[in-house]
Amino acid sequence: MSRNRIPLEDNQISAFINEELQLEDFEDDSASETEDYVEEDHVQEDENYELSDSEDLQMEEQVIPPDPSSIASERPPSSRIIELSQASIRGKNRHTWATSKGQSSARTSIRNIVRTSRGPSRSCRGLTGELHCFEKFFTDELFEEIVKWTNVEINVKRSSYESITATQKDTNVLEIKALVGTLILSAALKDNHLTTEEIFSKIFCGIGYVAALSRERFDFLVRCLRFDDRNLRLQLSQTDPFTPIRAIWNILIAQCRSNYIPGTNVTIDEQLLGFRGRCKFRMYIPNKPAKYGIKIEMMCDSGTYYTYD
């Protein structure tokens, strides 16, 4: 079978060797061997010319491949940094990128000089306990918003009961805080996969949950928990899918901004919160640990990773 080869000129072989392998100081014998080896590599790659079987056999007898280790030791380290001659390039989205770092001798604008250090704001520097820090983010205003719309839902569900007991009464801020604390405690103790009968059983989980509220009241409040006006939800959801939780979300984000002073550098990040319930903007990302959930884009401090917005 004949092979496709291109004969190279002597000057082309010498130029290639001098540029790539830097073999000027090699002896004449080793240089000739390397020339034959390089010519063999180039000849095999092109398919525009053909040689006869006799010429093919004659060339194979003349080729003496050198030691790869000796060539690797003499080869200079290749640079992977591409330097472009033009000052700018344009991407597919029509965005222009500079190929070199800009230099400016002008003074930094006053509005771009950060004179404060990152860290908690003045109102949060005296906090010592976990509960006080929690209350700086989940304020009474947020819980009052939850109580307002939860009581509306309780009145709707209470009409379907024949006899009204303490389980179906209206709630208040203190009880909603106890409900949230129970949910956080169950997640911290890895009890959130258990049923309510097991969670509120003194045999399985002790008296920690029962001390907050009863199992019947817990189930009833979870079913009635609301964060917005149910009558306006369908109308507002057409323009804002986040309507069911938009009000308390804005209160929480406002507290995140006011309780912390970011540093000079911030970054945009995203997080997939695991969630498999009913949600129209629930996402599936296979390379994430949770895979199913709600993706939240956030602005974080580059130094402390605090979620500022």
d(CA 13, CA 6): 12
| pLDDT attached to residue 33 | 46
d(CA 153, CA 220): 11
Full DSSP string of 127-138: --SHHHHHHHHS
pTM, two decimals, is: 0.60
Q: Which of 6-15, 90-99, 183-192, 207-216 has the lowest mean pLDDT?
A: 6-15
36 vs 229 pLDDT, higher one: 229
Q: Confirm if 200 and 210 have CB atoms less than 8 A apart.
A: yes
Residues 202-214, buried b or exposed e (16+ Cβ, 10 A)?
eeebeeebeebbe
Segments making up each domain of the chain, as ranges = 10-74, 130-232, 260-301
A 10 A CB-CB count for 276 gives 10
Segment of 30-34, 45-49, 136-140, 164-168 carrying the highest mean pLDDT? 136-140
Segment of 47-61, 84-98, 294-308 carrying the highest mean pLDDT? 294-308
| pLDDT attached to residue 74 | 52
